[in-house]
Structure 1
Amino acid sequence: MNAEPRKIGASERPVIRQLDEAAANRIAAGEVVERPASAVKELVENALDAGASRIDVAYADGGKTLIRITDDGCGMTAEDLPLALSRHATSKIDGTDLLNIRSFGFRGEALPSLGAVGRLTITSRVAGEEAVQITVSGGAMGPVKPAALSSGTVVELRDLFYATPARLKFLRTDRAEAQAISDVIKRLAMAEPYVSFTLREVKGETSREIFRADAEQGELFDALSGRLGRVLGRAFAENAVALDAEREGIRLTGYAALPTYSRGAAVEQFLFVNGRPVRDRMLLGALRAAYMDFLSRDRHPAAALFLTCDPERVDVNVHPAKAEVRFREAGVPRGLIVTGIRHALAQAGHRASSTVATATLGAMQPEPTGPPRIYQMDRPSYGARQNAYAAQMPLHSFDEAPQPFTGPTPDPFTPSARVEPVPEATPELTRQPLGAARAQVHENYIVAQTERGMVIVDQHAAHERLVYERLKKQMAQNGVAAQALLIPEIVEFSPADAARLLEAADDLQRLGLTIEPFGGGAVAVRETPAILGEIDAGALLRDVLDELADQGESLKLQARIEAVLSRMACHGSIRSGRQMRVEEMNALLREMEATPHSGQCNHGRPTYVELKLSDIERLFGRT
């Protein structure tokens, strides 16, 4: 490790060579085509750029032996096919402006890369002309031949990576590769709701349909909701709120799920920029920040977000697979996502996820409704039945006569036996979203009657959210009180880190943390948020600095302040075990209806469960 660098003599000097085209294509394939799913992504995007309205994808052995993409796009002529297989040849751009890109593909690397590492056959037909076909295998291109095809294009890729067998060792199992292909198709299907997609697995002479999404109809949000319901399931569509916000020329649309519809992993987070599926760390961080106040650390939000802007404001040419983007003003889309989602969730009011009620009904196991079949040999005799009946009576032995109960009679006015009168459920109250309070169970759960069923409310969790929202509102109106330090705390940083912190000084001061330059890389902390008490200012600033370096914005201080408010709300709310009067219960229900985010507590758990009357009747077999 500590050896001195070896001196290279004139005779040993490495010679710079021009790689041949086949080697260059194989190297490019290593960047563009990582696995079969990457090949599917590139080919389907080509079909979309060609204006296809129907796309059929077939694969075999996880895409390792066969990938076939069939579309009804505009097609290619005999002159186009050889050019399409040449490196950096594309119909998407002319090369004069790499910032004004309005198509999926533009690099001109996908087809030649696939032809360099597999056996690629392209059959295509332009309207009014004859169909043509070309084949390239391991980089060797064949002649253009006549073919039979009604319209569109069929791209067939066989034996992927046969020309680079070492790459095959790094592929996963057929099942894992097939799942990756399915994920790619579903992402592109979400991006294009007006296009029909079909995914099939081929085994021998038969095929099995894995996924199908017919073209949606109607306006954008109706079509998008239908497509998301088809791809992500009805549960997501039923428990998501629509997003439509705009800031400085960037528009945010899509759907974000309610906090109570959260996931155990970040598996339902989909981001699209100008219709292109991306995995951008900055945008994913904004999504997490939008739910920071509603979910615990081990839960993840679900959302499908679509950002639309002028192509010149975003650079998509920063990654060979076009999976990452870079915005000219990074803070605008981030802030738009945070405020757009929070505003939509606030408009949802007290609404909670319907999956909570589904889980509640699933936990209820009704007894069998019909009598079990009894065979003659299992039918008890008359004597056995008499003994069984006698055994169920409170007697010490079968030969004793029944005796009257001689224990003490319970006092109906003692606290243990007092029966409260059932409060009257007026029509005005039952028409409210959370209904009229009818009872309190175990001194913790409020049972309310609605027009369509019943609601069960966790009184402590609900009141905790109400108090928390009240404290946040007061903080927003009055600001965060700052506590001046008798002796300023000096924290040493590198000059670059200190400059980055001081750029955010105004934002930190609004949250009660005042910092000033102290020469070189030192930063002086003059004031800290009073609500946090005695804190380690140096550790807090380092956390803020790490977040600034990672995401360009820090929410660490705000999160710590809100965590304190959350604890204050927890201690200041109605405790479990407290008996509530009917008036108090109804007042709590009305305040929940008027308070945003009251459908979940500060930790993301539901505050109430709503059960439809039809579901309750189904449990008892009355339907």
Structure 2
Amino acid sequence: MAIIRRLPENLVNRIAAGEVVERPASALKELVENAVDSGAARIAISIIEGGLAQVEVTDDGCGMSAEQMSLALERHATSKLPESLVGEEGAIERVCTLGFRGEALPSIASVAKLTLESRVRGAETGWKRVVDHGMLVEEGPAALPPGTRVRVENLFGKVPARRKFLRTARSEYAACLDVVRRLAMARPDIAFTFEHGGRRILNLQAGEPVENRVAQIVARELADNGVLIDFQRDAIRLTGVAGLPTYNRGVADHQYLFVNGRPVKDRLLTGAVRGAYADMLARDRHAVLALFLTLPVEDVDVNVHPAKTEVRFRDAPGVRGFLVSGLRQALATGDKRSAQEPSADAMERWQSEPVRDEPSPALRSMFQGRDWSGSAHSVKEGRSAFAGLSSPTAALPSMMDDYTPQDLAVPQGRAETAEELPENSEEYPLGIARGQVANTYIVAEAADGLVIVDQHAAHERLVLERLKAAGTNAKLSASQALLMPEVVELEEPDCDRLEEHAGKFAELGLTLERFGPNAMLVRSLPASLPKADPQKLLQDIADDLAQHGEALLLGEKIDYVLATMACHGSVRAGRVLNVAEMNALLREMERTPRSGQCNHGRPTWVKLSMADVEKLFGRH
């Protein structure tokens, strides 16, 4: 007969530590969350060698007495559940703090050397306890200001099987920095400092507006390339900053999502973000944003995983729809905006163009025998060469005789005769067309600078919006019945997901029926996808459902058809436009939603301010 035994306390803690403490960043997250929950106004974080050697967190919160410190190092002991809720049904669902499980400190202490020092405000002295891999090695008074200081050293030092799975110090540092960024973003009312190896990485002041805190942490360019969000429906609210579609990245590592102040990595929310940007970004590009979702605590379950980075919503479809609506409404307020400035690299190359050391042949013939030293006398002589001419153009015929074929190459550009800007020029943010360059780019003059428009990218977006407004999306999603219904074999969980969303697919033109435990019967396909392979299409959609919890792929495929039609039906690069056509395009862009970016997330126009133009010529 098998004998069942109770495991030793230190072994129980190490097993629990495997769930809570995976790497230095996991321990850091737990310690900073404790500091936040303590009511701290300032949190100082310091790590050495990416946290492999040391992690230290100091706060000015409520502090702990010696008795409380002893209790805090026991498993399942916490101050996060008020006594009135302990033992009450549904207590966990009403927790508003970041921590509540009572596992972090004993788990960390079982796999590292943990020094815990704390002083209650008003007490004459503090107290210290040192636990080395589960064993109490030191205890006594400690001198420190009110608050708590926790130091973790030699993580997994006596657990070599775990230690060898840790990554390099550089990788662990990156994970720690990401944790601090997310928690600091969630609480702009708290001051944060973060040091790595004695080098100050972050220094964030308390009381900043959330958009300023986000811009400091994510990217300063986001302040000029994002829109503020404040969207509310009943008891649920969405706030934050969303980057314009033209301000995107190749990976989704700059998407920060928070639920009731808790940083989360949730598939439902990331899927909603992807859906909101569906027809504004290419599939391999990702938005930059920080979204803060607030809803009643009873509508979200935070006790899904020991790491508390996953949540579960009571009304998942409703939350997803709310998030998509809020994002799209916010982006609509800045949908005509584009990249705020030209590429910095392009500007630098423009300003550092090499200057010809030698004059052109035409100028050399005009100043034959003159001094090229650049003295004031030679410059004066050069100017006098034009003194006897009634018009500067009178010199052109003789000058042209000396040009080489390269000098005489005609650039692809046309300009309109310069005229005064209209008095109501502020009503035309994209300006008045002045010409066309390379038969691709429209150059316009606005009241506050120079505007350059990519005519194909701009018209592509205009055509797509026209197609949508005309109801083409509904026509494209019409069904096309198959002559012979096709049976597609899939795994049973995939069939369950497809059957659950069959009604939604029918609205998009895809008619499905269950055909046994491991198969689906396809009766019709969307008219816009007549050559789609049913097997591959259903497998892709099933994978999409498994990953995002919502059928995004089919709608995206139809959007892609619309975008392709818009691309082929728009003004092509290389087409010559007259001034009236250019101005008509500019005026329609000013009226059309999302005209600041094409269907793939690239900017349709850039503006060079007059200050930038003057810098190019050294006027500043």
TM-score, normalised by the number of residues in structure 2 = 0.86
1:61 to 24, 49, 68: 49
Whole-Å Cα distance in 2 between the matches of residues 591 and 76 of structure 1?
Answer: 65
Deviations 1:452-503 (A, max 9, x none): 1110001111001100111122227865462442625232446765454343
> Of 423, 432, 439, which aligns to 2:435?
439
Label 1:214 to 1:585 Cα distance change in 2 as closer, same or farther (>3 A). Answer: same
Report the counterpart of residue 332 of structure 1 in structure 2: 318
- Paired with 1:196 and 1:369, the residues of 2 have a C-alpha distance of 50
1:241 deviates by: 1.0
Instruction: Return the alpha-carbon distance in structure 1 between the equivalents of residues 163 and 493 of structure 2.
Output: 45
Secondary structure at 1:364 match in 2: helix
Structure-2 separation of matches of 1:426 and 1:405 = 38
Matched, 1:162 2:150: no
CA drift at 1:439: 0.8
Amino acid of the residue matched to residue 32 of structure 2? Answer: V
Deviation at 1:359, TM superposition (A): 4.7
More displaced stretch, 490-499 vs 319-328: 490-499
- The offset of 1:214, in angstroms, is 1.0
Question: Residues 346-376 of structure 1, C-alpha deviation per residue, up to 9 Å, x if partnerless?
Answer: 22121012254545423412458999xxxxx
Distance in structure 2 (CA, Å) of the matches to 1:111 and 1:27: 14
Cα contact 1:116–1:163 (8 A) shared by 2:
no
Q: What SS is found at the alignment partner of 1:443? A: coil
The answer (yes or no) to whether the contact 1:431–1:450 under 8 Å persists in 2 is no
Shift of 1:318: 1.5
Query: Which residue in 1 is equivalent to 2:453?
Result: 457
**Corresponding residue for 2:117?**
123
Measured after TM superposition, the shift of residue 431 of structure 1 is 4.5
- Distance change (3 Å), C-alpha of 1:165 and 1:95: farther
2:202 to 211, 214, 218: 211
Matching residue's letter, 1:216: G
1:290 — aligned with what?
276
Q: 2:145 — aligned with what?
A: 150
Shift of the 420–320 alpha-carbon distance from structure 1 to 2, 3 Å rule, reads closer
Q: CA offsets, 1:587-610, max 9 Å, x none? A: 111111111111111111111111
Decide whether the 8 Å contact of 2:20 with 2:307 is kept in 1. yes
Contact kept, 8 Å, 1:356 with 1:606, in 2: the verdict is no
Letter in 2 for 1:183: D
State whether structure 2 residue 504 is matched by structure 1 residue 504: no
**One-letter amino acid of the counterpart of residue 203, structure 2:** R
Q: Does 1:198 align with 2:193?
A: yes
Amino acid at match of 1:17: R
Is 1:345–1:596's contact at 8 Å kept on the other side of the alignment? no
- Whole-Å separation in 1 of the counterparts to 2:426 and 2:574: 26
Could you tell me how far 1:509 is from its partner in structure 2? 2.5
Q: 1:387 to 1:37 in 2, by over 3 A?
A: closer
Structure 2 SS opposite 1:197: strand
Structure 1 residues 522 and 157: alpha-carbon distance in aligned structure 2, compared to 1, 3 A threshold = closer
Secondary structure in structure 1 of the residue aligned to 2:249: coil
Q: Distance in 2 between the 1:243 and 1:268 partners?
A: 17
Deviates more, 1:591-600 or 1:121-130: 121-130
Paired AA for residue 159 in structure 2:
T
**Pairs within 5 Å for 1:281-430:** 281-366=267-352, 421-422=417-418, 425-429=421-425
What is the distance in 2 between the residues matched to 1:29 and 1:618?
Answer: 58
Q: Which of 107, 110, 113 is matched with 2:107 structurally?
A: 113
2:253 equivalent in structure 1: 267
Q: CA deviation at 1:535?
A: 3.3
2: distance between equivalents of 1:406 and 1:427?
41
Q: Which amino acid aligns with 1:298?
A: D
Paired letter, 1:241? V
Q: 1:386 to 1:106 in 2, by over 3 A?
A: closer
* Alignment partners' CA distance in 1, 2:504 and 2:114: 56
Overall identity of the aligned pairs, in %:
50
Whole-angstrom CA distance in 2 between matches of 1:121 and 1:497: 50
Supply the AA of the counterpart residue of 1:184: V
Q: State how many pairs are aligned.
A: 575
Unaligned 5+ runs, structure 1: 1-9, 218-222, 372-381, 390-402
Q: In the alignment, residue 290 of structure 1 is paired with which amino acid?
A: A
Q: Alpha-carbon deviation of 1:291?
A: 1.5
Higher mean alpha-carbon deviation, 285-294 vs 359-368, is at 359-368
2:58 is matched with which residue?
70
The 3 A distance-change label for structure 1 pair 141 and 408 is: closer
Letter in 1 for 2:266: D
1:552 Cα deviation after fit: 2.3
Quick one: distance in 1 between partners of 2:36 and 2:566? 52
Letter in 1 for 2:40: A
Query: CA–CA distance in 2 between the matches of 1:216 and 1:417?
Result: 52
**What is the distance in 1 between the residues matched to 2:320 and 2:617?**
50
Report matched runs for 1:474-623 at 5 Å: 474-475=470-471, 480=476, 482-485=478-481, 487-493=483-489, 497-516=494-513, 523-623=520-620
Paired letter, 1:109: E
1:564-598 C-alpha deviation (Å, 9 max, x unpaired): 11111111111222221222111111111111111
In structure 2, distance between residues paired with 1:57 and 1:417: 58
CA contact (8 A) 1:271 1:278 kept: yes
For residues 173-195 of structure 1, give each alpha carbon's deviation from its aligned partner in whole angstroms, at most 9, with x where no partner exists. Answer: 22222222222111110010010
Distance 1:319 1:438, change over 3 A: same
SS in structure 2 at match of 1:531: coil
- 1:117-139 CA deviation, whole Å, 9 max, x = no partner? 12212111112223222221221
> Which amino acid is 1:350 matched to?
K
Distance 2:531 2:412 in 1: 47
- Residue 160 to residue 405, structure 1, CA distance change in 2 (3 Å): closer
**Superposition deviation, residue 294 in structure 1:** 1.3
2:135 equivalent to 1:135: no
Cα distance change on mapping 1:54 and 1:483 into 2, 3 Å: closer
Post-superposition offset of 1:339:
2.0
Contact 2:487-2:515 within 8 A present in 1 as well: no
SS of structure 1 residue aligned to 2:66:
coil
